[in-house]
Structure 1
Amino acid sequence: MKSSTVVIAGIMFTAAGIAGFADDGLLRKNWSGVAGAPTSGDQASGLPDEASFGVVDKASRRAAPEFRQVAQNTQPAAEATRPQATAPVVDESALRYFASKGDTARLQAEISRLRALYPDWTPPEDPLAVPRNKDVQLETMWQLYSEGRYAEVRKAIAERQAGEAAWKPPADLLERLNVAESRARLVNASDLKQYETVIEVAASTPSLLTCSEVDVLWRVADAFAQTKRPDRARDAYLYVLKNCENAPERLATVQKAVSGLPYDIAQELLAFERTAPGGGGEFESIGDDLARRFVAEGDADGKLAVDPKYILRLERLVETEGLASDALLLGWYQLRRDNMSAAEQWFRRAHDKEDSASAAQGLALTLIARKAHEDAEKVLYPWRDASEDAKATYFAATANLLAIEPPVTLREEVLSRIAQETTKGRDPATAQQFGWYARAMEQPGTAAQWFATALRWKPDDEPSAYGLALSRNQLGDAAGVAEIQRLWAGRSERIARLGETEEERRDAIARQQQPLAREQAPISGGRQKTPAAVTEAAPRTVTRYEVEQPVAVARQTQTTGRNATGCRTTVNPARLSPQAALTRGWCLMDLNRPLEAAEAFAVALQAPASQMREDAAYGQSLAYLRAGLTNRAAVAATQSTQSRRRAEELQSAILSDRAIAAFDAKRYREALIFLDQLGQISTQRSDLMVLRGYAYLNLKRYAEARRIFEAVAATGNRDAQRGLADVGRAQEIWPNK
């Protein structure tokens, strides 16, 4: 189709779609009378002035005289070529016919059409007084048209032309027939969700886009919204709110607009609310529903700044109506913004009013945030199977409960049901934490069973493999340790170094009893280090792409001359001084043996010097992060005050690991919460941006996933480019999401 532009009745279209709606023009007011029509310009009676039916308003006409010809250009060819001095003959038979049938809607539409075609024409005061058409066949055609039998009208025209070669159908009838057929085609395309066809028909039939055809305007707006052109949809809705008077239609326009357009555009449209006869706003009747909708949008998008008036209105609704669903909306809204205290308050109200899976899950998340893991497990246990999200949150509570440092003594009933659910749900994270919990309770046999179970469910879980090796070593199972070392050869340094010889152990003890030869070198944070190279932790595989270790470990290696050989043997760190334990901790980190390093740092935490305690807490937190024990890392970070730089570094690492762990466990909403928290303190790496994109994708929030992937893909990131392809495939499966 050739690109062309048509400007008619205040609306501009292009071949690619409607370019926009004019602020004025078209039918500002409808003529509600059938007989006694007022004269031109009688605004008090409701008849629109010249600008209402013309191309643009009067001011625009003065600014752009060329627009005056547009209405004339829409006349039939015979009318367009008629000398200007000759007054056009206006066929008013349709007016009389619609008036006689009491069809006020078509009567008003016909008046609008004739005024657009003939600007100097004045409607008759009484359409019924228009002389009756003595052409019986033509009267029959008009009757068929009024009944919507357009194909029969076409047939009747063709038959008469075949029988009367000189007869020509009235231009008005043909024009009305074309418009009616276009309307039917547009409505049919809209019903079939053929949105491009809707826009194409509207562009070619601008006379449909008037206040007498609000349903058509709604369908065009929806077509724009569905084809990702929200600004054009806004223009369609905005035209109704600026120009049309029918109160129910205006209210319905707002309801349709807010359900399909972004929050900011909805607010722009609501700004055109008028004062109702009673003095209130014309949209007040749907105010509660609007507040619920906008707060719900804030639940879905943690960065959306919802107007406080909607929050306050919903809070008042909770107080007056007491609906649990309203309290839940507020709870999730506050949770998404990390306002955990407020979120817990609303979730408790919802839970007390009506215990549900959503209320229990939300309350459990707030309890987990303030480390009340046992309470979280208790609240969510009855709803653990309600949904995948509820199950994921339940296992988050159980894993955190078992990972508390120091371990808490749990009732047998609680341990039993957690174990049962872990086995039924095959959750490797909780199984692993059961292993560490059993080790802390001096039950190496039980620990070995849980670590082995976790490995069956997740064979690449290195922390579980290491825990199993430690437990078998404690049980004296040398063959079992050797088997694990064989399976993990080349993949885990700390598993390979487990069980060093007595000779190596004696050499290490002897070296540690010698004076430490320290080569001092200043580094940031107040610690000293030797020229030994800094070893980065190995990348951690997450789903389909790699995420780098979030913290670059700046550490102090104090040796006797041979880098990290002074800690290759197994030594009980409790026998060492705090300074020696601190030195050993950094040495073990060089050898990628973080759990042993954490034990050494624990001894160093007993040092009287505050700087040494800070270094020890920092080191222990890094060790737990290296081992994948994020919750223990968070606890370790609180054992001593840290500098601002270190605190932000650790917090970023902890949140990154929690986001990755939540994603691995398919707890996508929880992963997004951690990523939002991370975004408040640091700039997110591209790999975590990709993680966010896949979280949105798994939640079927395709628009947000696409936006993230497009932003990262622009930097050349291949994972983001694959993400865009995945979004496309997913939308083919779920096109309406």
Structure 2
Amino acid sequence: MSSKSKLKFSLLAATAVLLLNPGLVSKTFQNGDSELQAQEMSWALTAPANDASKRDASDPLLAPVPGAVSSSAVSAANAAFAPPAASIAPAADRVAVNPQAAPGDNPFLRQAASAPVATSVAVALPAALPAAEPRGASTPAVANPFAAATGPAAEAASAQPASATSVDISALRYYASTRDLKRVGAELRRLKDLYPDWQPPKDLFTPVSQVDEQPLWNIYATGNYAAVRAGIARAQSVNPKWQPSEDLMTKLQLGEARSLIDSAMAQSRWKDVISTAQGLPSLMVCGEMQVQWNVAEAFARLRNYADAFDVYRYILSSCDDPIMRLSTVQKASLLIPPVGFTSLLALGRTTQDGHPEFENLGFDGIRRQIGAFIEHGDFSEMPANEEITRFVDFIQRNASVEDANLVGWYFYSQKEWTTANAWFLQATKFKRDPKSIEGLILTLRQMDKTEDALKLARHYIKMSPDVARQYIEIVSSVLTADKPALALGETENALFEETVTSQKSALGAQALGWKYLAGNDKAAAKTWFADSVEWQPTEGGVVGLAVLAARAKNGRALSALKVNYGKTFTALQDFKVYRPRYVAKRTPKMRDKSVSSKPRTLVDYLRSAS
């Protein structure tokens, strides 16, 4: 059996289980839509045949459908998901990969050169802050990839006496300025307990000129960090002993670094992005998600996928916002090879319903494979049957209308009209989606159920331009058929003309033109043909105008059509321009001498020439 037949068999089997097993039918379809319910009943009656009239009995797709799909197969861990077949990211075989890496571990081998990244960025940066603690018991603790170094050297550095600038004495100075000696003493004892080697400043009780920081905060809010620096310098030139608050300086440094990273990203200076973040590890926290994404992308652009993976893994292991977590995995899928993306999926947490957090993303591979098949008619890589089964189960559990439509269009491309119709019908049970309705109408037309298709299109005509276009196509085919399959009443005709006008449909307008021409209403026919050509010049509309011009022996109009459209629409060559023969008439002799030979008005002239 070919790969194409295998996929079709797997999807047909899953389709039968999904749509014929009453236990799997969605309960959301309860609004009493008679048109769609009629289509559901119609499919239920015809589905067992499975388009058998169009296929040989030996077709393997007609084999008995196996039993119901076990839902336990869907509870596999994220690591079981197959990697996407295609991605914007580089292929895995182009990078060094550790084949022994477990799901969730870094699968990329480190680059040989591990020297610090050079940078031209110069900015005052504070000491590294502690890395954010990971939250959530379902993921292992992962250290901030840019956290301060640990080990003997770091321990030795931490043993050094605290400097005057590393101790926050703002509260101490406040108590001293108010002469609250009791609180001054308590604050001194607290600071000495924290920093035994620290000594209080000698000018503790010296009055310090106060500066209102609010104007500086106002400038900071605009993002003009250089102006904030300038404001601080001006204030210190007036009051040399004044120091800005630690809060202002910390946020100013973070803002400056963030701005430098954004600028470097815009100019593709990937090394500057990384070095700036390395100088300020406090940016690599959950509250600075954009910075983390930028750093991970910079690593990926430099093909340092191991460090890019570490940043993504740190986010998934430390941050709780579900939207940010999902966006992280989506970004990673576009920037790192599929093997890394697959490993990141294993870091997904278990949702309340017991399914993996990133289960939806795990099916992106099969979505791309089916989409590529619809477009090109073949698979670059055949999906596994187990994956197809899990995909169909996922569609049902999550009421995924987009995925149901995707499978419907797959069967439509295979001309499996009945099965495609069933999938589009199932999609409408999840949600009234325009693409589902359009798919239903198209499959009904292919199944020679024109009347049902017309009813459905008429019912949902205002849902989308695509549905309105389907309605116009159906009615146009009826109006221009030699033997119309349907009889259209006045109400239908009025709705059709209204829809054609609102949609500016050239097809519908020319169909109306031929209808009125057949009824010998040449004025109405000319109006609709002219509208058709104005909205979109087509052969039907142009030929309609040519027929009217030829019947009216309007040689000038026919010649204009040939000049404007003759090269585009060769059918105009069959029309011959009518050229009348003009014969000069003699001026009659004036018999009545009393009548002037020079008439006073045009009316008099016409009368005398008659």
Classify the TM-score, shorter chain: 0.3 to 0.5
TM-score, structure 2 as length reference: 0.46
Provide TM-score, normalisation by structure 1.
0.40
